Amino acid sequence: MEEELRPLGYGLKIYDGYRPYRVTVLFYETYHDSNFVASPYSGSRHNRGCAVDLTLIDLHTGKELTMPTGYDSFTAEAAANYADASPAALQNRKLLQEVMLKHGFLIYPSEWWHFDFAGWKNYPVMDIPFEELKARL
């Protein structure tokens, strides 16, 4: 994906990827909003290692490109199809979406930054702590 963005002067900044199940439980107990936080009853796409939260950055400055909202904005403006944003934000979001779709990811409707790997339901919910994952490397 980055090979495709590099000639444009852009790269990817990843906010979140795999998330242990225990973190999903903690998020849900804190927010109780299954629009923006996965229900612990079914686990999340992040718990399956099949979701990524990311944005575009300018490779020369390292700064994030303008998007409709900041990351983790629990607002209507964060929706993947929200139309009342600046032209630059809409153009940047469209580029991010096009690149992710091209590489097998699906757009999550409530969050412009969240993309799911196609077939995520076929993977089990995991609760492997980061320390254990690091030890496996």
Q: How many CA atoms lie within 13 A of 130 on its CB side?
A: 5
Residue 113 one-letter amino acid: W
Catalytic residue among 64, 111, 131, 132: 111
- 46 beta partners: none
Tell me the C-alpha to C-alpha distance, in Å, between residue 98 and each of 3, 40, 90, 107: 14, 30, 12, 10
Say whether 132 is catalytic.
no
Reduce the DSSP state of residue 120 to 3 states and report it.
helix
**Rounded CA separation 124/104 (Å):** 19
For residue 74, what are the CA distances in angstroms to 9, 20, 38, 81, 98? 29, 21, 13, 15, 23
Q: Which residues are catalytic?
A: 111
